[in-house]
A and B are shown apart, each in its own frame.
Chain A
Amino acid sequence: MSMFQKTKTARYSSCRSCAVTSRTPYSTVPSEKTFDKILIANRGEIACRVIKTCKKMGIQTVAVHSDVDSNAVHVKMADEAVCVGPAPTSKSYLNMDAIMDAIRLTGAQAVHPGYGFLSENKDFAKRLAAVGVTFIGPDTHAIQAMGDKIESKLIAKAAKVNTIPGFDGVVKTAEDAVKIAQQIGYPVMIKASAGGGGKGMRIAWNDEETREGFRFSSQEAASSFGDDRLLIEKYIDNPRHIEIQVLADKHGNVLWLNERECSIQRRNQKVVEEAPSMFLDADTRRVMGEQAVQLAKAVKYSSAGTVEFLVDSKKNFYFLEMNTRLQVEHPVTECITGLDLVEQMIRIAKGYQLQQKQEDIPINGWAIESRVYAEDPFKSFGLPSIGRLSQYQEPLKLSHVRVDSGIEEGSDINIYYDPMISKLVTYGATRAEALARMEDALDNYVIRGVTHNIPLLREIITHPRFVSGDISTNFLPEVYPEGFKGHHLDEDRCRELLASAAALHVTSQLYSHKILGTQRVSSAPMDQNNWELCVELGQELHDIEISKSGNSYIVKVDGGQVEVCGDWNLASPLLPLTINGTCRMLQCLSKESSGNIVLQYMGTLFKVRVLSKLTAKLNSYMPEKVSEDTSSILRSPMPGTVVAMSVKPGDTVADGQEICVIEAMKMQNSLTAVKQAKVKSVHCQPGETVGEGDLLVELE
């Protein structure tokens, strides 16, 4: 009992983003009585999202949290909060006993599980039913039927839903996996039967990869779901991931709320989603919607659910799985349909009928969602990073922007939970409008203290292939075969960046002269108006002439001329500039006395060094810092736990051979050798926690 700590908090300010502020007002029926108090068995943005709707509906809310989340936003937002255990999810957010105690303690009448955690756990739903508490989601039968990949496919087949050719069965050993894979024919996909999303999912192109995939997937399945059963099926090359949102009540009414396209994925996890899809025509949409409804009816589904399909280039679609919960990317559907899915889930759970008919469901405009993650997109399109959000500003001053987040300035992103910072949603009458707003929103988003994936998001949403709708789930590896390298500056953009950096440097130099008050020895006036500078970008030096008049600078650089105007507020993280008449939002991340400036431009961080011409000349005498040879040392690319060490000192490793496996945020990452060499020393052991940059293994 002592671990429970009940806190009443009502400090949450209502100025944050919320679903309620989106364009179409949600229909709330004031006379409907639902629940007095709901417990939200989740954390982060989805907990906040649910609480917002509860507040709107006049429902009291209870947050549960782990000890490290005591100060989290969802805890502050809720009317009551109960600590359900220490940081590891298995001891807190997955700790059913503690959550059941919290329900009893607070008298909550219903539980919204959000996504992940206990959202698709039939045991949890059963335990709730046993004590007469409503589970806001489908009943246990549907969860069970759809939660199992094998059973769900059989049901789908029976309901006349298109399914993927493949092997439906339990796989016991690596050799069984190979045999099955060979029968189906490569490529095949291996994943955990019980798992949702991309977690535990591997693609194998040969026997060796099948064995490896089997090992990884079963390990991950065991650690994430406590159920190591696997599924192997035909992998459809070049597919698009398009899913249908369904909404069903307890009276047999089922609606399909159009599709979401979630083809932009990395390691089978979604990055950018949109609704509707550019790819679907009205007929395909209707057929997919109707099949989704058939499936929902087949399992007597109620609540919100999602039927995922893979769609090939000929618009053939195959059932992938059904998620019996609220999806991460539900906001784009809300934007185009005007429905509040959480509200509908609560109504349905209380037993109300759907108020809409299928013909009432519109597609109003276009919505795009970018998942903003605390991760380094330069490493495998995103390896988790951790840290404290020392500065954090959501771009909510812009119109048609919705940000669903569960963190705030000062929050910690730690290794225990999903590294998602927020879901950034923009919408507009057309896709182009929504995309333009997304570009603006990403440029105006201030995140400091953790590495984030905004550089990648901005590149994706401005890439010609994405803009034209030519995408598939292989988009990222196809567009960036060498890995993501950040924005490539063309000549004009490069000049703009150099000019902006030079102007910022001069502004800051002038600022240094602004000592106020009466100094006994008066300052000499700074009447200089022209400067000769040298700016270093990458390995190249650029000579720059810059002159100032008022707030604008004329910059001569690389044979061109650039005019840069701005307010030049050096205390603000955002640097709105007008460059040659075009408005650009830059961000200044750091500015050091040494002339080093880090600017975010076109979403990507660029490090420049601005020196006076004289300083640059003298700087050429300075010895260059010798950088460490990184081919013979293996450092941890992220903070996490070492789960396997495949080598010992004296072993010889081949180029590409696995050296060790690091688990972070429930993802297992295999680290491999980049050259053939002998292992000199091993600096960590399985089970050990390592930080980013920690030395793991040295090669000779």
Chain B
Amino acid sequence: LAVLHVHQSFACLLQTNIQSDCRWYSVSHLSVKERIEKKRKAAQMGGGQKRIDAQHQRGKLTARERVELLLDPESFVETDMFVEHRCSDFGMEQDANKFPGDSVVTGRGRINGRLVYVFSQDFTVFGGSLSGAHAQKICKIMDQALTVGAPVIGLNDSGGARIQEGVESLAGYADIFLVHPSDLPHHGSLCILTHLMLCLQDTSYLFITGPDVVKSVTNEDVTQEELGGAKTHTAVSGVAHRAFENDVEALLYLRDFFNFLPLSNQDPAPIRECQDPSDRLVKSLDTVVPFESTKAYDMLDIIHAIVDEGDFFEIMPTYAKNIVVGFARMNGRTVGIVGNQPKVASGCLDINSSVKGARFVRFCDAFNIPIITFVDVPGFLPGTAQEYGGIIRHGAKLLFAFAEATVPKITIITRKAYGGAYDVMSSKHLRGDMNYAWPTAEVAVMGAKGAVQIIFRGKENQAEAEAEYVEKFANPFPAAVRGFVDDIIEPATTRKRICRDLEVLASKKQVNPWKKHANIPL
């Protein structure tokens, strides 16, 4: 399994850190010192220059280069540089097959000054394969991250389990991927490894079993790229959250992205200094919703215009594109944004978009990030494919996620808010803190045409009835008179409103009734 493929080598800074500590020397001091030097040097070189060159030739960086790029200059503090694998079978016990640090680089450092733990698998050592020692190193920094409440970033570049070690390496997998992630959130640490997965175009592959095994078991012909390439996982399977062109780009984006997140679920979402005026009027929003309610527009136009500096980090931009999710800032505060995308499938909710949205909402709630929801949803996608696929179950996930979230929730209905989908999209009924409607909002059970066809089935004068339905329900008033929206606002003032509300809601405290864990309809 691989998560964020990233890589790296010339971190020589550490060599100087340790030398001054050698006060315990005796007669053998020189030789031990030499041995230390030698081991450190070897650790820096991973699998050796030849393999480093090969890695570069593949357009990939080494484990150490990746760490150096990810972290602030001179901030990396390495642990377990001397750890070696313990396998004694198949000639692995020979000195030539031992590499100080084994196939992973671990330690901590800072990104834009903020603490982070990091492990980076070293493909130049046994193809980055996971040995018992490798797993142990990772678990060590995860434990430490847990005790101080800091996130862990894993830069994965591994061929898989180290076959020579057999079951010991599998136990290592269990340690990393099963035990730790499940208890991390409860103990107050953020692990990007499990919360968000980034991958690389053309060089990242991720699958349970490779093409050869697939062929032999199911007789299916499939390439590595088709089976588990970046495109597959970001557009079809929804396993990965975003793909990047190469190592350098991914790491640079990761540094910026890291700034949106709190260090742990015990910390508030970060606030960055903001140069974008919080009371900025966004005039372009007054005309963004087209005159005809059947015409599409781009929800991203609204999001980019409203958030600080137009800076929106979209998560899963190529998967279930009928819903848009991602992070941004409002007056410096990190917020999670969820929006229906009218440009794709009219912005309807289907299985994939519900799950995508639900996962994101829970991420925000887990890490104290306020959620802003832009609603333009004509309903759930009808049809057998959706029903057989369990749209009721999956749609309920999004409802559940919004309902259970206790972070500040602000909702803006830009246009359609129809039927059950309206309820689901962070409505007042799901404890929305501030719910606004634009003058173009239509909060109703369904579109006028459909409604009239049902109410007046087989009767004449449907056009007239439709006009009446539009007059009665295709506007924000029915919801506003009942208090289901708190106000009808001029679109241009939306940014100003949200910024003001977030200030007030910063002290929001809401506790869900105690339970061992919530029972989201999985």
Contact = CB atoms under 8 A, between A and B. Distances in A.
Interface of A: 67-68, 70-71, 388-392, 408-411, 511-517, 519-521, 523-526, 569-572, 593-595, 611, 614-615, 618-619, 621-623, 625
A67 B290 CA distance: 10
Interface stretch (B61-69, B173-181, B231-239, B351-359): B61-69
B247 interface: yes
Contacts of A615: 69, 248, 252
B291 A67 contact: yes
Given A71-B291, A390-B305, A520 B113 contact: no
Interface in B98-141: 110, 112-115
Interface string B283-298: 1111110011000000
Interface in B265-280: 266-268, 270-277
A520 B263 contact: yes
Interface string B424-454: 0000000000000000000000000000000
B255 interface: yes
A595 B257 CA distance: 14
Contacts of A623: 59, 202, 246
A619 B248 contact: yes
A452 B150 CA distance: 47
B339 interface: no
Given A71-B287, A71-B291, A513-B112, A571 B270 contact: no
B113 A524 contact: yes
B61 A410 contact: no
A67 B275 CA distance: 39
Contact of A519 (B253, B263, B284): B263
B61 A621 contact: yes
A515 B115 contact: no
Given A524-B75, A571-B309, A622-B248, 8 more contacts: A388-B288, A390-B305, A391-B284, A408-B287, A512-B112, A571-B277, A593-B255, A595-B252
B318 interface: no
B470 to A, nearest CB: 14
A625 B283 contact: no
A514 B273 contact: yes
B226 interface: no
A617 B113 CA distance: 23
A579 B277 CA distance: 27
B148 interface: yes
B245 A625 contact: yes
B308 A571 contact: yes
B276 A515 contact: no
B56 A621 contact: yes
B288 A524 contact: no
A70 B252 contact: no
B88 to A, nearest CB: 36
Contact of A521 (B115, B259, B274): B115
B181 to A, nearest CB: 21
Identify the 4 closest CB pairs spanning chains A and B, nearest first. A410-B284, A523-B113, A571-B276, A623-B59
Given A516-B332, A618-B248, A622-B246, A389 B284 contact: yes
Contacts of A593: 252-253, 255-257
Contacts of B267: 519-520
B149 to A, nearest CB: 7
A517 B271 contact: yes
B114 A515 contact: yes
Contacts, number: 125
Given A520-B263, A622-B247, A515 B270 contact: yes
Contacts of B195: none
B249 interface: yes
B69 A408 contact: no
A390 B61 CA distance: 38
Contacts of B255: 512, 593
Contacts of B472: none
A526 B59 CA distance: 32
B248 A569 contact: no
Contacts of A516: 271-273, 332
Contacts of B247: 618, 622
Contacts of B257: 593
A515 B113 contact: yes
Contacts of B288: 388, 410
A391 B68 CA distance: 38
B301 interface: yes
B284 A409 contact: yes
Nearest to B113: A523
Nearest to A522: B113
Contacts of B56: 621
A570 B309 contact: yes
Given A512-B256, A515-B259, A521 B114 contact: yes
Nearest to B59: A623
B253 A594 contact: yes
A597 to B, nearest CB: 13
Contacts of A525: 113
Nearest to B304: A390
A111 B305 CA distance: 39
A618 B69 contact: yes
Contacts of A625: 245
Contact of B114 (A67, A523, A622): A523
24 contacts: A70-B291, A388-B284, A389-B284, A409-B283, A411-B287, A511-B275, A515-B271, A519-B114, A520-B149, A520-B267, A521-B263, A523-B112, A523-B114, A524-B113, A571-B274, A571-B275, A572-B275, A614-B73, A618-B61, A621-B59, A622-B59, A622-B246, A622-B249, A623-B59
Interface in B451-484: none
Contacts of A68: 291
Given A520-B267, A521-B115, A594 B249 contact: yes
A408 B283 contact: yes
Nearest to A83: B291
